[in-house]
């Protein structure tokens, strides 16, 4: 029988482990788990500084003003709340905007330059306007090199996610340095003296493999150098999981699964199974279990595509579609492309049609029983 996310959050909170690493497919509840964990650790406003967390909700606190009237002055705005007041006020007080820019340009381009603007009006507990001297919006420009400077551009969604992560990471770097100072009176701020937990859910999945590895190594180094903090890191990226696991020399990791009855299970993975992380077999098992239990959902097309991609990459095929049945390659390619990339809410239907379920079954059997899977098994040996 499964557990609730509250049960799992309490289990994570009550352990003595410095780092707990969780692998989960998208849609398995890891982002919700980070929120439940935060509410368990800091249910009251006075306890906000007991935990720092990064997840999809963190990104939602940033939104665009696209200047629809003139289409010239685009800027990224920040929703004022307790978290952003603390985060951005601290960045300004500590002069960390330069660190954010340096980190961001490292992962994107040295020519892509953010500029922080300050002062915005927030609401106090009585809903009165309060002027706060903190970063309230960010403008981006392209400058440097032979290119003419272009002001107030809108960056891509992946660059935006990267930028928000760099804000959080720059804050975390400074907090870790402050907590190394044993005498609290010698710290530049007392806001984080009671900090106990850091929960990070899928930092930047849009990075290429090289930068994702570098991000994981840097995060692992920061975790290793921290004092008195406990970290929970969840991800759907097997590469990110692997690098963190090896860099941190963790003795055991976890897999978070969502069960058919709506409950969850947190399975412990010990020893070398984490280092090798047989991702192909895990994908195959997950899809097969959905087929056997007649519980195929739309997201299983994403897993199926992922399985084809990993197999093709391992065997050296230039395209994952090269592994599809020859007689209907174009058709199956379009089916998987559409179902695995549908993003609009009115396009996403949780329950696939019976023919779509049959496609999942057929394409899994085709891959596993064809020469491709046998080639991969032989190559692995």
Which residues have CB under 8 Å from 249's CB, separation 6+?
Answer: none
Would you place residue 241 in the very low, low, confident or very high pLDDT band (cuts 50, 70, 90)? Answer: confident
Q: Is residue 89 classed exposed, middle or buried when 0-12, 13-18 and 19+ CB atoms within 10 A define those classes?
A: middle
Would you place residue 343 in the very low, low, confident or very high pLDDT band (cuts 50, 70, 90)? Answer: very low
Would you place residue 345 in the very low, low, confident or very high pLDDT band (cuts 50, 70, 90)? Answer: very low
In three-state secondary structure terms, 154 is coil
pLDDT of 307 higher than 80:
yes
What percent of the chain clears pLDDT 90, i.e. is strictly above it?
A: 37
Cα 139 from Cα 77, distance rounded (Å): 9
Which CATH code of 1.20.1250.20, 3.40.50.300, 3.40.50.1370, 3.30.420.10 fits the domain covering 5-272? 3.40.50.300
Cα 349 from Cα 359, distance rounded (Å): 16
Q: Residue 340's pLDDT is what?
A: 62
Q: Residue 25's pLDDT is what?
A: 78
Phi, psi of 119 (to 5 degrees): 85, 115
pLDDT of 381 higher than 50:
no
In three-state secondary structure terms, 4 is coil
pLDDT, the chain, mean: 83
Q: Residue 153's pLDDT is what?
A: 92
Could you tell me the residue ranges of all domains in the chain? 5-272, 278-380
For the chain, the residue count is: 381
pLDDT of 238 higher than 70:
yes
First to last CA, the chain: 36
Q: Give the mean pLDDT of 224-251.
A: 88
Question: What residues are paired with 52 via a beta bridge?
Answer: 198
State both tokens at 63: 């939104």
Q: Give the mean pLDDT of 196-208.
A: 87
Helix (H) or strand (E) holding 237: none
Predicted confidence (pLDDT) per residue in 122-131, tens digit: 666 677 776 6
Starting at the edge strand found earlier in the chain, the sheet holding 51-54 runs 51-54, 197-201, 230-235, 19-23, 252-258, 264-270
Q: Where are the beta strands (DSSP E) in the chain?
A: 19-23, 51-54, 62-65, 75-78, 112-123, 129-142, 150-153, 197-201, 230-235, 252-258, 264-270
Q: Which residue has the higher pLDDT, 227 or 206?
A: 227
Give the closest residue to 3 by CA, choosing from 259, 191, 377, 197. Answer: 259
pLDDT of 70 higher than 90:
no
The model scores a pTM over 0.85: no
pLDDT of 59 higher than 80:
yes
Q: Give the mean pLDDT of 105-129.
A: 79
Cα 260 to Cα 8, 290, 367: the distances in Å are 17, 9, 26
Q: Residue 131's pLDDT is what?
A: 65
pLDDT of 208 higher than 70:
yes
Contact 172, 110 (CB under 8 A): no
pLDDT of 145 higher than 70:
no
């Amino acid at each position: 029988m499964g557990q609730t996310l509250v049960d799992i959050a309490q289990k994570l909170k009550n352990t003595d482990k410095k780092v707990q690493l969780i692998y989960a497919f998208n849609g398995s509840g890891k982002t919700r788990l980070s929120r439940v964990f935060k509410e368990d650790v800091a249910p009251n406003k006075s306890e906000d500084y007991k935990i720092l967390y990064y997840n999809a909700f963190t990104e939602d606190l940033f939104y665009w003003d696209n200047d629809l009237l003139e289409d010239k002055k685009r800027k990224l705005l920040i929703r004022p709340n307790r978290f952003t007041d603390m985060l951005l006020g601290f960045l300004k007080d500590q002069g960390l905007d330069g660190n954010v820019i340096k980190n961001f340009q490292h992962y994107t381009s040295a020519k892509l330059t953010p500029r922080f603007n300050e002062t915005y009006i927030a609401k106090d507990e009585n809903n009165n306007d309060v002027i706060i001297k903190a970063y309230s919006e960010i403008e981006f420009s392209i400058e440097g090199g032979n290119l003419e400077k272009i002001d107030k551009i809108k960056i891509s969604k992946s660059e935006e996610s990267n930028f928000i992560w760099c804000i959080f990471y720059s804050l975390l770097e400074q907090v870790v340095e402050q907590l190394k100072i044993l005498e609290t009176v010698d710290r530049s701020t007392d806001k984080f003296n009671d900090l106990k937990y850091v929960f990070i859910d899928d930092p930047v999945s849009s990075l290429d493999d090289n930068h994702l590895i570098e991000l994981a190594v840097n995060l692992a180094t920061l975790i290793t150098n921290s004092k008195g903090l406990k970290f929970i890191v969840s991800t759907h990226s097997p590469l990110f999981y692997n690098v963190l696991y090896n860099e941190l020399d963790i003795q055991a990791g976890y897999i978070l699964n969502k069960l058919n009855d709506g409950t969850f299970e947190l399975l412990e993975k010990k020893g070398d199974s984490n280092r090798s992380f047989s991702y192909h077999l895990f994908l195959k098992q997950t899809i097969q279990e959905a087929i056997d239990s007649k519980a195929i959902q739309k997201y299983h097309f994403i897993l199926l595509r992922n399985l084809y991609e990993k197999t093709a990459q391992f065997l050296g095929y230039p395209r994952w579609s090269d592994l599809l049945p020859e007689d209907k390659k174009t058709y199956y390619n379009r089916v998987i492309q559409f179902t695995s990339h549908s993003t609009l809410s009115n396009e996403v239907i949780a329950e696939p049609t019976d023919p779509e379920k049959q496609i999942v079954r057929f394409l899994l059997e085709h891959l596993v029983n064809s020469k491709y899977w046998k080639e991969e098994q032989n190559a692995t040996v």
